[in-house]
Amino acid sequence: MSKLSHINEAGEANMVDVSAKAATQRKAIASGVVRMLPTTLQEILDKGLAKGDVLAVARVAGIQGAKRCADLIPLCHPLPLDKVSVEFAALDEQTLEITATCLVTGKTGVEMEALTAVSIAALTVYDMCKALDKGMVIGSVCLQSKEGGKSGPWERDG
């Protein structure tokens, strides 16, 4: 059986002790997509929804989600984030890509914060557009890359 860092010798959930680790610069980039009707994506891009600018609200929600990650993920360390950015791109007529980048100088990585930022931004897009398109699909949320820490850099293939 592999040794998971969040499981102690008794097999119980455990918050990892990072007290002896040195603080280093760390960065994580995550992404995901929301697939929707072409008319829905066009309304988002045209800022035509009565609820307001969907991408502006989703950006703020994603940043807020990253900042609150430790409140949502039980064994996640609270981090003093140095930077969170959330960006959007239309990949085609019905796919909105969300990319989040998180930076911190700390003792543990920011992968969970970047993944949370993407997830919360995507959920906000859904919430603001569900009256137009209940069939939207959130998917492909994944880590694209990370830098810093003992394990060093990692980048998704392809």
- 52: which strand partners? none
| H or E element, residue 101 | strand 95-106
Our answer to whether residue 92 is catalytic in this structure is: no
Q: Looking at 17, 127, 133, 157, which residue is catalytic?
A: 127
- Taking each helix axis from N to C end, the angle separating 54-67 and 111-129, rounded to the nearest 10 degrees, works out to 150
Spatial separation of the C-alpha atoms in residues 147 and 141, rounded to whole Å: 18
Spatial separation of the C-alpha atoms in residues 59 and 62, rounded to whole Å: 5
| H or E element, residue 84 | strand 83-92
Catalytic residues: 127
